[in-house]
Every structure is written in structure tokens, then in C-alpha cells.
Structure 1
Amino acid sequence: MKSVVRRYFANRATLGVAILLVCVGAAVFAPFLANQNPYDLAQLNIMDSGLPPGSEGWDGHYYWLGTDEQGRDLLSAILYGLRVSLFVALASTACALVVGVSVGLFAAYRGGAFDALLMRVVDLQLSFPSILIALILLAAFGPGLDKVVLAITASQWAYFARTIRSSAQAERSREYIQAAQVLRYSSLRIMIVHLLPNSVAELGVVVAVEMASAVALEATLSFLGIGLPITQPSLGLLIANGFSFMLVNKYWISVFPGLVLMAVLISFNMIGEHLRKINEPGYAA
């Protein structure tokens, strides 16, 4: 029974990695895979607006996923939108990881009043929903790619800080840390060279989950119209653009970007679930 469960989670992880690789590959090679640059007005034809999936346009191109009301090839728009969504997720999660790990590692190593103070800041951060923090920051700074990355970073760093602090605290009293202190290594060297590598086991799970959270949060903000501007479209903005046409049976404008968004989220969560299982005591591959 245990081997069946392990194979099940391993297969889910493989499927998640496969889906993610397809999405990343499609985003990276979007300029070569797309029929058009959907945000170059010179390449659009208003006569092709609102075409259903599988239609042929005036220029002879087939629009496999249809077009929107501006005549943009929806498949091309999804490929370009996927690039932006994945970039925002990668950039914001990387920034949150650096900030959170630095705070959590410092708190665990110093302990005492520093640890108590920093963890109260983390607790205060975690007491607010991520989307509320992002909404407040974007309302103050306005929309934009860099603003969205900053807002998501500010809403995520505390999760990394809490995770690394918990792991580092257990390692803080180990003999190798005490030996490094006896040898008068600098605190920075001890934290980076000795403490950090032995405290990152569970960070993989948080990274996968927060990547999915960043994609969903960016899509939500863009859907609400306060995330990315229309010149930097993402999957959330594509869904928002087609939402008003759902009632006139032009479902494809929102549904197909929504399916791609769901695939990205599922892939990250599959990978995160497998990483969580690997870190459980008694797990064997």
C-alpha cells in the first residue's frame, strides 16, 4: 500500500513538472510560436475580431483558439501573457525568498530580543491577507510591472522568514555551530556557510506554493484592473478582457486563458505536494 501511495505522488510530481515545463517553454519561445505579436497594432485586423476557435482570418491564418474583440489571436495573446505571469511569479518569489531568508536566519541566529522583535513583525505581516497588502501598496504606488513585483514580495516574505527561522532554530544549538563560534568565525560566515545550507530542507515546498500564490495573486490584481497595465498583459488581464463577453456566448476569450492559468497553478501545487511528502519522516523513494 505504501509503495502505491509513493508512486501516486511521484506520478503527480512528474505530471506537474511536465505541465510546468510546457508552460515555461511556451512562454520562453512565444515570439517564435505565436502567429503574431498580439500587442503590435500594425499586425491586427479589426475584421478578424470575435472569431470563434478554429476560424480562418482575412490573411489566411488559422486562429486555433479564436480571437478577441480587437482581432488579436488568442493563442498568441496567451503565450505572451504567460511570459508576463511567470516572470512576475519568479521575480516576486525570488525577492521574497531573499528577504524572508535573511530575516528568518538572522532572527534564529541572534535569538533573544532580536528574534522576538522580528518574529512579532512576521506575525503582524501574516495576520493580514496577502491580497489586502498588495491592494494597499498598489493603491499607493499605482499599477506597473515593478509595482506588482514589489507588492507581491511584500505580501510573501514573511512565509519564508517563518519557515527558515523554524529550521534554523533547531540547527542553532548543534555542535558544528558551536565549533564555528569557538574558532571565531564571523557571524555572517556562520549563518551563510554553516547554518543556511542545513536549514533549507523545507524551503522547496514554500517556494512551490508561493510561486502558485504569486501567479494567482497577480492574476487577481490584473483582473481587478489595478495590477499590470494593458501594455504588459498577463493571464489575469486576458481573463478580465473577455469577462464581459461571456454573456454574448464568446466564452473562449476568457475560458482559454483561465484554463492555462489553472494548469500553471495545478503544476506548482503538484510539485509542492510531492516536496512536502519527501520531507515527511519515514519517506523513502
Structure 2
Amino acid sequence: MTVTLGGPLLLVGAGKMGGALLAGWLRQGLDPTLVYVQDPTPAPEVAALMASHGIRVRHQAKLPAAPSVMVIAVKPQIIDEVLPALSSSVGPSTVVLSIAAGRTLANLASRLPPGSAIVRAMPNTPASIGQGMTVACASSEVTRDQALVCNMLLEAVGEVIWLDDETLLDAVTAVSGSGPAYVFLLAECLAEAGVAEGLDPELAARLARATIAGAGELLRRSDLSPAELRQNVTSPKGVTAVALEVLMGKGGLSDLLKRAVAAAAKRSRELSS
């Protein structure tokens, strides 16, 4: 798949996720002369990527035309100060693609010109290696062609799912948006547990990392459900079984994750208010 656009692309925010998207687009053949970046302090790795492709920073060069796509990749806390200044750059054919957590379509629309076409998306950090999971929804003003362009841009960093019900994006954010952090915490805790049982810290960390990476890849490739894969590892009354009795008992991993996801979804809703 080659990423092609009918006009300029303005990327607002060149942090880790904005940089991951940019890297994915360039890997998929997007013409760098179409890309403009607005960020006073891009992440060092993103600045290096931009320099290597001759990508222009907006405060140094004006766009030749209204962008075909404006990608909003800033933190949700600064949306209120960023969007009003961008309104004049939104043209009648521009689609605004926002990955700001918690900011609803209505919230974004109130800060943009009336009738703006807006797509709200929630990617996650595996996008940095092309293995992202993104869920998106569109305002009624978004045309089929604009939705296809946004889908192409998001697919450059992984899988994309579209939803009609925007209210589900808070739960999506809590599960897949924040989910990688939960997995990384599991790796930390598993290594710490190994050290508590006498393993050298370096060995414990290596075992935890390889185990989680391998299990994740097995899950990705397998047609079996997570429950079936878990059962395949578990012999009755064996070593794994006694560990799972602890993890699956009252107050165990299932209960903890439900509480964690509920807290994250609540915070996502708060950010949109």
C-alpha cells in the first residue's frame, strides 16, 4: 500500500505518536514534499526523521494550499489553545484527523470552522513498529473519500477498526490505547517476582520480556481464543494451574483489570467534558 494524498498534509504535534504516524507514512511511500509539521519542539528522533526527508516546519514555510488532511497529534490538555489558531488553515475540502484522547467530535467541532469534516481516532504505541491498533469514528460531514484517506493514513501503522458509536471510544482508549502500559507493567512485575524467587535481575528481566513478546506473537498468529491458549499451557494440578488459581481468584488479575479499565475510561470521559 502506497500512501497518496491529493494535497498537503499538516501534522500538528511531533511527539512520540505523531512521529510514529509520520514514520509509518514515509515507510509507505508518502511524498515528503506534501508533509508539513507544526511543533515548536519536535521530539529529537522525529526532528532527525524530518531533516532526513527535508520535511518543512510550518513556522518556516507556509502551506501552498489548504491541507487535504490536518492531523492533530497534540496532548488533549492543550487542544483548547492549539485548535483556534488552526481554524484559518482548514479549507472546505480539509478533513481533520484527531488522535487527542478524550476529545469528542463535538468538542473538536466547536473549535473549528462550522461544517468541518472530523475523524476522531485512538491509536496505541505499537504503531511505532507498524503493529498499532487504531479505532476511529467520523462526523457526518466526512465524505467516503475522506474516510478512505484517513483509513489509509492509519493503516500505515497497523490495524484499523471503525465504529459508528463514538461513546465507545472511552472504553477503547482504556483497553487498547492504554493497554500497552498494562502489558509493560506485567513484564515489570513478572521480572520482580522472578527476582523474589532468587533469579538474577538481568535474567529475570530477559525471561519476562521474551515470554511476553513470544506469547503476544503466538496470540496474534493463532486462531485460538486467549482462553484456549491459556488452557493449552495449563496441566491439571500442575505448576501453571496453581499460579492461575492465585491470578484468577477473588481480587485477582481479572478484577484488577476491570477496575483499571473503568478508571481509565472515566478519565477519558472527564477529558471530553
Same fold (TM over 0.5): no
More strand by share: 2
Q: Which has the larger radius of gyration?
A: 1
More helix by share: 1
Normalising by the residue count of structure 1, what TM-score does the alignment of the two structures yield?
0.24
Q: Which has the higher contact order (CA 8 A, sep 6+)?
A: 1
